[in-house]
Amino acid sequence: MATLPWRAPTIDVYFLLGPVVAMLFAAMFDIANVGIRRILPVYPFLFVFGSGMAAWRSRPRMLLPVILVFLSVWQVIEAIRICPDDLAYFNELVGGPDRGIFYLDDSNVDWGQGLKGLKRFLADQRILHIKLDYLGPYDPADYGIEYEPMTSEDILHPAPGTYYAVSAHALQRPVRVRVPPGGEAIRYDWLEKYEPIAKIGYSIYVYRF
């Protein structure tokens, strides 16, 4: 059986992993969901700690090199598979990019980057008009997308035969804010109830009922 010799952690390990633990612990209490940028400082520490694997010794001798080559090849394959939708990448532990929307929202999954892909999809499928719930800094009309903004009635009672395109960030939020004055909040439960006919870069979900 392959074994790695056990050695008590040195001061270097505490120096590298101590800040990582402290920053991740502090991030757990950060109510602002603004993505991974809040924990970016942990990566230099993890990179240095991970590089220490080169000094490990294993039995049999080739076990560690084989593991490192396997992980490297896996990373390359995953990068190729997700390209060009790199922002949507989630690893297999959470189910890949198809499941990422169930864990994170906002800039973690959606920067409004799906408009070009949506335009290509509409052209390929010869769809002339859609209803759109888009959250992003760009105007869909600038990409030649003819659309009608979705309404509360569309969310509650989608019309048969109509195409709907919904931003991942909007779709993931359980309650929509756009309600009439004095009205009740509307639950946006399409992820639970309906299956999209297409996922444009995993940032825009297309439905047809």
Residue-range domain boundaries for the chain: 11-83, 107-208
pLDDT at 73 over 70: yes
Question: What is the pLDDT at residue 130?
Answer: 93
- Taking the CB of residue 204, how many other CB atoms lie within 10 A of it? 28
> pTM of the full predicted structure?
0.75
Task: Say how far apart CA 119 and CA 43 lie, in whole Å.
Answer: 37
Torsion sign over Cα 44, 46, 49, 53: negative
Q: What token pair was written down for 44?
A: 């230099």
Confidence of residue 68 (pLDDT cuts 50, 70, 90): confident
What is the arrangement of strands in the sheet containing 198-200, beginning at the earlier edge strand? 147-149, 130-133, 163-167, 204-208, 198-200
Average pLDDT over residues 92-116: 85
